[in-house]
Structures are given as C-alpha cells and as structure tokens.
A and B are shown apart, each in its own frame.
Chain A
Amino acid sequence: MGEVKERILGLRKERLERLATLNPETKLTLSLLRRSPLAVIGISMVTIFAFIALLGPYLAPYDPYQLDLSVRFSPPSAGHWFGTDGEGRDIFSRVVFGSRYSLVAGLVPVISAVILGVILGAIAGFKGGKIEDLLMRITDMFLAFPSTILAMAIAAGLGPSLENAMIAMIAVWWPSYARLVRGSVLSIKETEYVEAARATGETDINLIFRYVLPNALSPIIVMATLDIGGAILTAAGLSFIGLGAQPPTPEWGAMVNAARIYAIEYWWLPTFPGLAILAVVLGFNLFGDGLRDALDPRLRRI
C-alpha cells in the first residue's frame, strides 16, 4: 500500500516532467517548425516583438509623452534614432511603447474571441438539434456583415478608444471560431474513442473537455496565431481612422494617423510606426503559416 502511495507521488512528479519533456507528437511539430526557414523567421520576429513589448520601459531612451518643442520635427539622428514628431517626442521611444498596446490589442481580442467561440461552438456541436441551429444562425448573422465595417460600427457606437476597439474586434471574430469548433466537434463526436468513453458511462462535461476539445485544438491554434497578426492590424487600422486609440497614446495606428498630413515633408513620422506594424504582422503570419504546415497531417510525412 505504501508502495502504491509512493507511486502516486512519483506520478505527479512524472506528470509535470512529461509536460515539460513533451510527447513525441509535439516534438515532431517543433522539429518541422525548426526546419522551415519562413517559420523560423516568423518566430524570431514575434519573439523580438514580445521582448520589446515586455521590456519597453527599459529599452526606450525617452519618455514617450515628454514634449520638447525645441527639437520638433527633427529627422533621424544619433540622439533620436527615429527622429521626433510635431511635439518633439522621440519617435523611437513611442514606437517601443506602442508595441505594448499592439501586443494587448493583438492578444486580448483573439483570446477572448477564441474562448467565446469555442464555448458556443462546442455547445452547438455537442448538443445538436435546436440549440445548434439557434447558435449557428446567430453565428451566420454576425458573419454576414463585412468584418471591418462591423468593427467600425461597434467602435463608433461605443465611443473611440482602444478598449472599445478591442470589444468590437471580439464581436467580429468569435463566429469564425464557433464555426470551426462546431465542425471539429461534429467529426470527433463520431470517433470510436468517444463512443468507447460513452460506453463506460463518461459524463457529458468530461466528454467535451477531455475528449473532444483537446483533439480539436490544432486548427484553433493555427487560426488564432494567424488572427493575432490580423488583430494588431485591425486595431492599428481602427486607430488610423480615429476609432481606436486616441492621441497622445503612442499606438502605432494612431501615430500614422497623426502623421498623415506631414507625411511628405517629414517622411519619418509615419514610416517607422508603419514599418513596425508591417514587421509584427508579417512575423505572426509567417509563424502561423509555418505552424499550420507543421500541424497538417498530410504535410507531416517523415
């Protein structure tokens, strides 16, 4: 009996170790990712971005809000790598700080949309019948609107701010996940291991959370990763048209918007924030593509 107790303690430790050492399937995914140059570039870019976002305050040489009218509109120089804007603020510091807003604007809406979409999609797929029909019709309603317009409408309705822009994005994004999850749930529901679990009397809750959802994760992860780039872009876009973050917030989209009228004379004003958007979104897209290829069972041949 004591031997068995020891075993259990050893098991818990083993379980943690296992999570750390990863099962061979994850190893295969990682090795495939490692071998695709584009995916590697994407991951590097994303990592750098995350790094900058997290360490922002320590990397920025200046306070992004600090005005210094004596150096307004200065081109890039040794003292100001990206130059200064109309109020003399250091653009480099503002770009660095802007990454934090972009990180939040990218992650929060996507994670929230995923959670909302997964819950609704799982219920729809699992329960079927009238509940499924109702949920899917609601999903269709949301999907019927062009996403950008819908986001704009919601953001405009709630009032321009980055938070409201994020809410708008969640509202626009969740239906795709709901649909995706419902499809996965429908097919996994019919697999033999789910049937066997039912034959042993497994509870419905557990069937969803331990049997169906974990096996439906791959397409969701891929979609979410690709969507993070899209979310960052959309947030910047909403800010660009004045519906998202408002000046003087150093959000990239807002920065480009404010720089519009000066773009020809002072090229560095919109260029650096714009390049930042480009780089980050590209990084996530490459990463997402690489991940999708690595997870695609048909492409994973030895």
Chain B
Amino acid sequence: MGDEDLLRVSDLETHFFSYRGVVKAVDGVFFNMRKGESLGLVGETGSGKSVTALSIMRLIPPPGRIVGGKVIFQGENLLEKPEEEMRKIRGKRISMIFQDPMTSLNPVFRVGEQLAEVFTQHQGLDKKEAEKKSVDLLKSVGIPDPDRRAKQFPHQLSGGMRQRAMIAMALASRPDLLIADEPTTALDVTIQAQILELIKELKREVGTSMLLITHNLGVVAETCDRIAIMYAGSIVELAKSVTLFKNPLHPYTRGLLDCIPRIDAPKEKLAVIPGLVPDLIQPPLGCKFHPRCECPSDRCSAEKPQFLNVGDDHWVACDRNVGNIRNP
C-alpha cells in the first residue's frame, strides 16, 4: 500500500494562536490517497476540514501554524520544503478550487487572461498559444461560446460559469492532485448538479486525484470513492464510500446520517446529535465526541481513541469498536 500512495498525511497538527488561547484546528489527522482516487473530507463547521486542505498546500495564514506531522506527496514531505519550491508545486502539481469563485478570480482581469497565465507561467507557452489553449479549456468544462466568455470579466459570468472557469484553471496544468473546498455549496441546486456531473466526467476522462471537502454527504456519495469524516480536528472514520453508508461505525457518523432529512425517505422526526460542537481551545478530554455520544464508556472520557483499521480499509477512532478489529 505505502509506495503507491499519492499523498500520505500523518499526525498533522495545525494550531491557531489566538488571544483567547490556542485553537487546535487540526489535531492529529491521518489519511492517505492513491493515484486516481477521489477522497471526500466531510465535516461540519469547526471540524478542521478546510484547515487540513490549506495545511497540505502550506497556505495557513498567521496566527495559524502547522506545528507537527508529515505531508508526504509523491514521496516528498511538503512540510519540509522551502517556500520557493512550494510555489512551484501549487497550481502545477497540486491545484485548489474554492467555494466562492468571485473571490478567487481576480475581478480586474479577463477570464481568458487569468487562464492563460497558467500556461505561460507553468508551461512556458507564448501568449498566443496560451490564449488558444484557454479557450479550448473553457470549452472542455462546458462553457458555451468560449471565445466570447474568455474576453469577459468574472462578474459578467454567472456563479456556475465562474466555478467552471475555476475548475478549468485548476486542471489547466494537469495537476496530480486537485483539492476542491466546498465547490458547489454557494451554487443553486440545478447548477450544483451541472458542476457535479462535470466533476464526475472529468474524473473519468482526466483521472486526476481529488480531495473534495464538503459538509454535504449527498455530494460525496455521488463523487467520491472513499470518505473521511472529521470532527473537532481529527478524522473519526475513513472508509470506502459504500462501506461508510452501509456500515457506519463511529457514533458521530451514524448521528450525521440519521439527522439528515431525506427526499427519498421522509421521516417524522429527525434523530438529533445532542449538544454543541466542542470548544477547540479546551476540547473535552479523551474522545472529543464523548460528551455527545449515545454510548460512551469510561475509557472514552479518559483516553483519546486510536485510529485503527477494522478491516477492508475501514478505519475508526472509537474505543467501543475495538472489538470489531479483524486482521486486515
């Protein structure tokens, strides 16, 4: 398993040093990704999913700092690289798209120009070639009338089109890893559907590995091979998509699945996870989820549970599932 991993994150810790105390946004995260697969990172507010992605890209702004762990990408530890080298990696080998395309596209430059920059900077093409490639790229992400659109400014495009343009920009350099942070959350439902279909199509054709961050379990069910559930800074469960939905082991995962209203299976009353997301400055001792758990044992409030493989690449951080460990 180890050598084929595109990305291996071990014990990643990212803290924010605020005036109120140290916010442990990412507190020991372990996961790996193989070439060509898409991994969904799911969590609610404060789970640390976006911070994890930014940590991989080494884009954590002060007062945040990556304080521990390793991020091994294609055999090299990104956390040890000088900024110079990281800049060469970003946008070329690892690309990222964000939730709000209005703020990630520069409003004073035309769309085509911004796209062409990727080609001139990272691939050394001349201006004319780069422009032509940009238009082709816009076409490939389904933007109608790409010649005209390339000459427009971001605000002249709709939300859906801007997001497509962003995806185009991210894929322009044929990165090995694409990180998408809530790419459809700000979009209308029918546009979201278009973008999801586009992502699935690109996945089939281009084969880029993708780390998809979202709070929406429906989105990851549709687009991801494996899913990791995050809570209060750590991954609590990681499994193949089908396995996670069929056999969720962590109480938080189960709680999440039970509390979502479903179109296909309406319920009278939604199951509820009692309590609130914990304070990341002074999280609960032991398992961070135990105050809200339906079935905590004494160990849960004392020891932090280990993240263990319970078989078939299904990992859980919950002591009560220790009994489920089988030989991998």
Contacts and interface: CB of A to CB of B under 8 A. Distances in A.
Interface of A: 28, 31, 301-302
A218 B176 CA distance: 48
Given A28-B19, A31-B19, A302-B19, 7 more contacts: A301-B63, A302-B16, A302-B17, A302-B18, A302-B20, A302-B23, A302-B63
8 A-B pairs closest in CB distance? A302-B18, A302-B63, A31-B19, A302-B19, A302-B16, A28-B19, A302-B20, A301-B63
Say what secondary structure dominates the interface of chain B: strand
A301 B17 CA distance: 11
B59 to A, nearest CB: 16
Interface residues of B, number: 7
A291 B22 CA distance: 25
Nearest to B23: A302
Most buried by B among A28, A31, A301, A302: A302
Contacts of B19: 28, 31, 302
B25 to A, nearest CB: 11
Nearest to A28: B19
Contacts of A302: 16-20, 23, 63
A302 B18 CA distance: 5
B15 to A, nearest CB: 11
A301 B63 CA distance: 9
A190 to B, nearest CB: 21
Contacts of B20: 302
Nearest to B61: A301
Nearest to A24: B20
Contacts of A31: 19
Interface in B53-69: 63
Contacts of A301: 63
Contacts of B63: 301-302
10 contacts: A28-B19, A31-B19, A301-B63, A302-B16, A302-B17, A302-B18, A302-B19, A302-B20, A302-B23, A302-B63
Contacts of B18: 302
A31 B16 CA distance: 18
A28 B18 CA distance: 11
A289 to B, nearest CB: 20
B240 to A, nearest CB: 38
Contacts of B16: 302
A301 B20 CA distance: 12
A302 B63 CA distance: 7
- Pick the most buried of B17, B19, B63: most chain A CB atoms within 10 A of its CB: B19
Contacts of B23: 302
A158 to B, nearest CB: 50
Nearest to A301: B63
A295 B20 CA distance: 18
Nearest to B63: A302
Nearest to A302: B18
Nearest to A35: B19
A285 B140 CA distance: 57
Contacts of A28: 19
A176 to B, nearest CB: 30
Contacts of B17: 302
A70 B108 CA distance: 74
Nearest to B18: A302
A31 B21 CA distance: 14
B87 to A, nearest CB: 24
A70 B212 CA distance: 89
Nearest to B16: A302
Interface string B13-35: 00011111001000000000000
A31 B18 CA distance: 12
A32 to B, nearest CB: 8
A235 B10 CA distance: 66
A301 B18 CA distance: 8
Interface string B49-88: 0000000000000010000000000000000000000000
A16 B18 CA distance: 30
Nearest to A32: B19
B182 to A, nearest CB: 21
A301 B23 CA distance: 13
Nearest to B62: A301
A227 B14 CA distance: 43
A25 to B, nearest CB: 13
A252 B199 CA distance: 73
A302 B65 CA distance: 13
B67 to A, nearest CB: 16
A302 B60 CA distance: 14
B292 to A, nearest CB: 25
A301 B62 CA distance: 10
A262 B133 CA distance: 78
A302 B19 CA distance: 6
* Most chain B beta-carbon contacts within 10 A, residue among A28, A31, A301: A301
A31 B20 CA distance: 11
A29 B19 CA distance: 12
B48 to A, nearest CB: 16
A302 B20 CA distance: 8
B152 to A, nearest CB: 29
Nearest to A300: B19
A28 B19 CA distance: 9
B62 to A, nearest CB: 9
A40 B29 CA distance: 42
